Amino acid sequence: METIELEAQVYTALTNDSALVALLAKGAKSVYHLQAPGDKEDRCPFLVYTPISDVPALAGDDGEISHRVTVRIHITTLDGQYGGIYRQVHRIMEGLGFFRVQAIPYMENGEKTLIVDYRIGVDSTWQQ
């Protein structure tokens, strides 16, 4: 499976989950790929998902057999109340087969963000 396919699965799962989108400022339109738009008009809370690494995990017979993909999700709020959103995101990502690697709270420009990395191992037969 290619990383772009995983990205599409993550986006679909996040935007189609009614419990999650009910917690976001603009529903499914509050889920962004790579970065949120620069405007600040009532966009919090929102999510940004980004693939941050894709590394070989297992090789054999002169080829890659599997690879690990890490997806970083930023849960950004104004008030720091990202717990409910995080629980929904975690449930969704585990359902896709990802496991949590780390979580980091972060604050910039008055926005309070929880940054969470999720990793999954996938088959690399698409490369051969």
Q: Does residue 128 lie in a domain region?
A: no
pLDDT tens column, 74-88? 999 999 999 999 999
Query: Looking at residue 45, which CATH number applies to its domain?
Result: 3.30.2000.30
Q: Which two tokens stand for residue 93?
A: 């990502």
Q: Does residue 42 lie in a domain region?
A: yes
- How many domains does the chain divide into? 1
* pLDDT > 90 in the chain, percent: 73
Host domain of residue 9: 3-123
Give the β-pairing of 99-108 and 111-123: antiparallel
Q: How much is the pLDDT for 91?
A: 98
Whole-prediction pTM value?
0.91
pLDDT tens column, 42-62? 789 999 999 999 988 777 777
Contact yes or no for 88/73 (Cβ under 8 A): no
